[in-house]
Amino acid sequence: MTTPNLAHRTADLDVAVENVKFHLDGVSYVISLSHQEAGELRRKLARYIKSARRR
């Protein structure tokens, strides 16, 4: 049986209002971001997501 890895980080810059979950290199992450920060993260990742496969 495997145990999932989970890391949690809270952004300090703005009021965190949205939890964004993602998985990278076998580790699951949850990061609390403002709507603006979450949008910026999605825009920056869009290029990679476009080429990725969903499982």
d(CA 9, CA 37): 13
| pLDDT at residue 17 in the model | 87
- Write down the mean pLDDT value for the chain: 82
Beta-strand relationship, 5-10 and 27-33: parallel
Residue 12 clears pLDDT 70, i.e. is over it: no
Average pLDDT over residues 1-5: 56
pLDDT digits (tens, 9 = 90+) for 19-41: 999 998 999 999 999 899 999 99
pTM of the model: 0.64
Domain 5-51, CATH number (from 3.30.60.230, 3.30.56.10, 3.40.50.1220, 3.30.1490.20): 3.30.60.230
* Whole-number percent of the chain with pLDDT over 70: 75
d(CA 54, CA 15): 31
Q: Torsions phi, psi of 18, nearest 5?
A: -140, 130
